[in-house]
Amino acid sequence: MSPLGGPSTPWNGNDGKPASRGAPVLAVWLRDLVISLAISAFIIIFLYQPVKVEGTSMMPSLDDQERIFVNKFVYRWEPIERGDIVVFRYPRDPSKSYIKRVIGVAGDRIRIDSGQVYVNDEAIEEDYVPPTYADERSYPATTVPAHSYFMLGDHRSMSNDSRDFGPVKENYIYGKAVFGYWPMDKLGRLR
């Protein structure tokens, strides 16, 4: 309380004017903004990258214009596995990125007979490829080379994939698609 009984007013002590509270609040806000931007940049550069899917080759798992996060760090700790949805540089034009599903890993023998995929001479069950998206295309038996992966799109009749450009080298793969965030009805972990 002031000596006159009214509320206390902070004084800056130098010129008799009340102390400004705007400068410290602005400094704290700017500091928090810079820290948030630095953390966001670190996450986007080294861990997770937001990506917009362009095209229909991964339908129904991923729709055209869907927004997803790609984990760019996961393959430093764990191997690329069959069934993973990965983002990679297109082998024929590395300035472009593609997103496909891993069907075969190094050493696997892949063949496709009238749309049925065989890995190491065993037919695989692909519940992510609905009958309306399947095709009758065949592909001769091939063994996936070392440090390479055989990729297919889920929308087989609309996909440019390893049937066209061959296995993808490991160093072209830069992330695993892990989480959809837009549109909201597709929010969740990718499978």
Distances (CA, A) of 137 to 113, 132, 163: 7, 14, 9
Tokens linked to 122? 């065993």
What is the 8-class DSSP label of residue 33?
Answer: H
176 as an active site residue: the answer is no
Active-site choice (57, 61, 148, 162): 57
| H or E stretch at 49 | strand 48-52
Active-site choice (72, 100, 148, 159): 100
- Residues 8-32: b if buried by 16+ CB within 10 A, e if exposed: eeeeeeeeeeeeeeeeeeeeeeeee
57 as an active site residue: the answer is yes
Tokens linked to 66? 């869907």
Residue 158, SS3? Answer: helix
**Active-site positions?**
57, 100
